[in-house]
Amino acid sequence: QVQLVESGGGLVQPGESLRLSCAASGIIFSLLGMGWYRQGPEKQRELVASITNGGSTNYADSVKGRFTISRDNAKRTVYLQMNSLKPEDTAVYYCNVLRSPKASWGQGTQVTVSS
């Protein structure tokens, strides 16, 4: 079975940074594109960053220049470095495969940006 476990969220002030981690199991990790998604209250889940199996990255306009996605295939882990955080970044952050069908969603990790 596929398991995705997100960690690294927390409460920070605007302008500060966080690094999220997603540990994956039960998939052929090195062959799959991975993405970070987020969902705020009463909002749809949106893709904010993605990385292909070859390392190509893409970002939503709202986070471009501030967030960096990376992966460590040996550790079966994908990361999201989040700099210059804004209150609008407040959400639960999830990771998943880019392909369909999606793996089962994990619990996510809460990111709260507030002064």
Q: What per-residue confidence (pLDDT) applies to 42?
A: 85
Q: What percent of the chain has pLDDT over 70?
A: 100
What average pLDDT does the segment 13-18 reach? 98
Q: Which is it for the CA torsion 52, 54, 60, 66, positive or negative? A: positive
Radius of gyration of the chain measured on its C-alpha atoms: 13
What tokens appear for 16 in the block?
A: 């500060």
Cα gap 53→65, rounded to integer Å: 21
On whether the CB atoms of residues 64 and 82 are closer than 8 A, the answer is no
